[in-house]
Chains A and B, each alone.
Chain A
Amino acid sequence: MSAQHIEHKEPLLRLAKRDDIARPKAWAIRAAAILLALVTGGLIILALGHSPIEVYGSMIGGSLSKGRALRETVKKAIPLLGTALAIAPAFKMKFWNIGAEGQILAGAIAASYFALFWAERLPKTVLLVVMAAAAVIAGGLWGLIPAAFKARWGTNETLFTLMLNYIVLGFVKYLQAGPWGPDLNPNGYPKIPMFAEAALLPKALGVHIGWILVLALTVLMFVYLNYSKHGYEIAVVGESVRTAQYAGMDVPAIVRRTMFLSGGIAGLMGFLQVSGASGSLTENTAGGIGFTAITVAWLAKLDPFVMIAIAALLAVLEKGADTIQTIYTIPASAAEMLTGIILFFMLGCEFFINYRVILRGKGARK
């Protein structure tokens, strides 16, 4: 027996699970986490030789001031929110769909096909509806592939969906370098030409109408997840596949259906990106949105309404970073880094919402 055991000592820190925490307290912890993240980011800005307050000020000014700045911010928030909504049902089912990035692109490719080759043959409204439908189907099918394998053989979906992102991205690059690039472009550039006017989404309040669509989708997704039979099935499958089977649910069918929906909504975001935001398909059409949206969905605890706030926050950061690049020559990558820091703090703070930390000698007995 070694000597160290003779001394009777409690560990320095111990944990106890909190059963319920008051909502305001939880949100206060989250707000504090964001604040701490901004302070940490501020220190880095300071290290780069700028005043954090000024830089943050211009970020807010550059993203939220009326007119163009705000419109650009909203434009960035739309696909983030929409993709987070797409991911929600999959994550609720504990199907780790890391492939929204690819599903966005799959949808974007399908929409672009009609924009490039059918623009003159169809009336505008019909064309846009066809583009949207094609995007949903393409994104849905791209989501369905890993779901089918998961349902049949239990193939790891995290890694599968991840790989599919790069496959479809390679295909976009291929289209860009050949069939839809130089072959279509009168000037022969390896770029996909801009869409005809008929293939562009109309605007409302200065931003493409995608924002209306996404807000409507938020409400629909809330109802779908919480009040529909499908939503109930998704919740049960996510909790326990055995229970779902026991209840007579056709689990493979539910997995496929849910991933088709998830991919389909992501595909629809691809349509909004090409038809609304940029007017053409590029390799940056998804541009990491599929990944960032996962963090949006997760931090919102899959609550569609909370996703609005988080998507807005990240969009402000991103647009703000464009501004500070021009004013302070701080590289725009600062936005990504700052997003990462905020994510770290928000992920970490959930722990303090779920657990009580007990210091040695304190709170041993209630």
Chain B
Amino acid sequence: MSSLFSISFVIAAVAAGAPLLFGTLGELLTEKSGNLNLGVEGMMYMGGVAGLAGAYYYEQAAGAASSGAVAAAIATVCAFLAAAFGAFLYSVLTITLRANQNVTGLALTIFGTGFGNLVGEAMGNAAGGFVAVSQSTKNVFIGGIPVLKDLPVVGKLLFSYNYLVYLGLALAVALAWFLDRTRTGLDLRSVGEDPGTADAAGIDVTRYKYLATCVGGGISGLGGLYVVMAQQQGVWVHDCVNGKGWIAVALVIFATWSPWRALVGSMVFGGLSVLRLYMSWGGNRLAPIYDIVPYVATVVVLIAVSIRQRRESQPPASLGNAYFREER
């Protein structure tokens, strides 16, 4: 057992935090458009299983000539598209057909969980047991930047991760820049705050909501990809996402809708989730108690935010409400 203050703890925290980061950034983007999509868990399953299927069937097709990098690229695209499709279903229902967001999000989670497990297990059944990707693909998801990763201390600390971790980091920076420094970002925020006003200002509210929700869903799906390919090493494990999507929903609140704080929060929550491996007391018996720390922390933030009532840390004002122009 390693110490809490070791490099390996930081690395483990980052690895555990990465899927949360994708889920959180995706949901954050979605919520900025005023849509509360409780289907993150479902979309992570969809992304995860589609990524695995993409990589696996590519390898089957390419045979010995298959490349780990290509497999990873295909997996990434598949994961993004599958989860974005889930978000698209949510968008059609809540934006166009005006269904309740909470209930639709839950339905998406139910559907996505079922879809992921069904396809994952059916793939296994068809392959006669279970599917597994090749070692070269696995290596891509083990990651590490050549040469740099061998540097003492900083090598392990900064350069030993797979491409998804760096992608997540880049996404967080990009999202922060997008929301604060671009006109499109400003328009998106106005849609989430006050769609009536955005509409009157000539912003296509429907288009923004669809795009933010679908892209956000796709980003969340990469979290599922990370779970399946990096954490489960390219094997479908029943119920593998296991509540990470819900933590992502929590993290958006924890981060009070800021991509920077989402980045920090994901790493903190990642750290909390591996904490039990690094604590010398309690052992397995207390493991479940460590697991609930992130949720307790979120509740505390939620309460603190509601008590402080700072204008800038409130949820987007129209969050959860549908918008129709021609209503009277």
Q: Which residues of A contact B (CB under 8 A)?
A: 14-15, 17, 48, 96, 98, 149, 153-156, 158-160, 162-164, 166-167, 169-174, 176-178, 288, 291-292, 294-295, 298, 329-331, 333-341, 343-344, 347-348, 350-351, 354
Contact A351-B114, Cβ < 8 Å, known A155-B302, A167-B292 = no
Q: Which residues of A contact B289 (CB under 8 A)?
A: 170-171, 174
Q: Which residues of B contact A295 (CB under 8 A)?
A: 103, 106-107, 110
Chain B's nearest CB lies how many Å from the CB of A109? 13
Q: How far is the CA of A340 from the CA of B89 in the complex (A)?
A: 11
Contact A177-B284, Cβ < 8 Å, known A170-B291, A347-B97, A348-B93 = yes
* Structural contact, A298 and B103, CB atoms closer than 8 A: yes
Q: How far is the CA of A359 from the CA of B36 in the complex (A)?
A: 31
Q: Which of B297-321 contact A (CB under 8 A)?
A: 298-299, 302-303, 306-307, 315, 320
User: Can you pick out 17 interface pairs between chain A and chain B where the beta carbons lie within 8 Å of each other?
Assistant: A153-B307, A155-B303, A160-B303, A163-B250, A163-B296, A163-B302, A174-B286, A174-B289, A176-B288, A295-B106, A329-B125, A331-B121, A333-B116, A333-B117, A334-B114, A339-B111, A340-B115
Q: Which residues of A contact B306 (CB under 8 A)?
A: 149, 153-156
Q: How far is the CA of A163 from the CA of B287 in the complex (A)?
A: 18
Residue B137 interfacial (CB < 8 Å): no
* Structural contact, B111 and A341, CB atoms closer than 8 A: yes
Kindly state the interface size class of chain B when it binds its partner: 35 or more
* Structural contact, A177 and B287, CB atoms closer than 8 A: yes
Q: How far is the CA of A153 from the CA of B299 in the complex (A)?
A: 13
Chain B's nearest CB lies how many Å from the CB of A189? 13
Q: Which of A158, A162, A167, A174 contacts B296 (CB 8 A)?
A: A167
Contact with A along B110-130 (1 / 0, CB 8 A): 111111111001100100000
Given A338-B114, A344-B93, 13 more contacts at CB 8 Å? A14-B326, A155-B306, A158-B36, A162-B246, A166-B292, A169-B292, A170-B291, A171-B292, A177-B284, A288-B110, A333-B118, A333-B121, A336-B111
Q: Which of B27-58 contact A (CB under 8 A)?
A: 36, 38, 42
* Structural contact, B103 and A347, CB atoms closer than 8 A: yes
Top 7 A-B pairs ranked by shortest CB distance? Answer: A340-B111, A336-B114, A337-B114, A170-B292, A333-B117, A173-B288, A343-B107
* Structural contact, B122 and A98, CB atoms closer than 8 A: no
Q: Which residues of B contact A172 (CB under 8 A)?
A: 288
Residue B100 interfacial (CB < 8 Å): yes
Q: Which residues of B contact A343 (CB under 8 A)?
A: 103, 107, 110-111
Chain A's nearest CB lies how many Å from the CB of B251? 11
* Structural contact, B285 and A177, CB atoms closer than 8 A: yes
* Structural contact, A159 and B112, CB atoms closer than 8 A: no
Central interface residue in B107, B122, B296, B302, by most chain A CB within 10 Å: B107
Contact A344-B89, Cβ < 8 Å, known A162-B250, A294-B102, A336-B114 = yes
* Structural contact, A335 and B307, CB atoms closer than 8 A: no
Q: How far is the CA of A292 from the CA of B103 in the complex (A)?
A: 9
* Structural contact, A178 and B285, CB atoms closer than 8 A: yes
Q: How far is the CA of A167 from the CA of B246 in the complex (A)?
A: 12
Q: Which of A159, A163, A174 contacts B285 (CB 8 A)?
A: A174
* Structural contact, B107 and A173, CB atoms closer than 8 A: no
* Structural contact, A336 and B113, CB atoms closer than 8 A: yes
Nearest A residue to B86 via CB reads A340
Q: How far is the CA of A241 from the CA of B315 in the complex (A)?
A: 20
* Structural contact, A166 and B295, CB atoms closer than 8 A: yes
Q: Which residues of A contact B89 (CB under 8 A)?
A: 344
Central interface residue in A96, A155, A340, by most chain B CB within 10 Å: A340
Q: Which of A174, A333, A338, A344 contacts B113 (CB 8 A)?
A: A333
Q: Which residues of A contact B36 (CB under 8 A)?
A: 158
Q: How far is the CA of A253 from the CA of B92 in the complex (A)?
A: 38
Q: Which of A149, A174, A294 contacts B303 (CB 8 A)?
A: A149
Contact A331-B118, Cβ < 8 Å, known A166-B295, A170-B295, A336-B113 = yes
Q: Which residues of A contact B229 (CB under 8 A)?
A: none
Q: How far is the CA of A351 from the CA of B111 in the complex (A)?
A: 20
Nearest A residue to B252 via CB reads A159
Q: How far is the CA of A340 from the CA of B287 in the complex (A)?
A: 32
Q: How far is the CA of A331 from the CA of B299 in the complex (A)?
A: 36
Central interface residue in B92, B110, B307, by most chain A CB within 10 Å: B110
Nearest A residue to B286 via CB reads A174
* Structural contact, B102 and A158, CB atoms closer than 8 A: yes
Q: Which residues of A contact B303 (CB under 8 A)?
A: 149, 153, 155, 160
Q: Which residues of B contact A338 (CB under 8 A)?
A: 114
Central interface residue in A17, A149, A159, A350, by most chain B CB within 10 Å: A159
Residue B249 interfacial (CB < 8 Å): yes
Chain A's nearest CB lies how many Å from the CB of B53? 13
* Structural contact, A173 and B302, CB atoms closer than 8 A: no
Contact A159-B121, Cβ < 8 Å, known A167-B296, A340-B112 = no
Nearest A residue to B113 via CB reads A336
Q: Which residues of B contact A340 (CB under 8 A)?
A: 42, 107-108, 110-112, 114-115
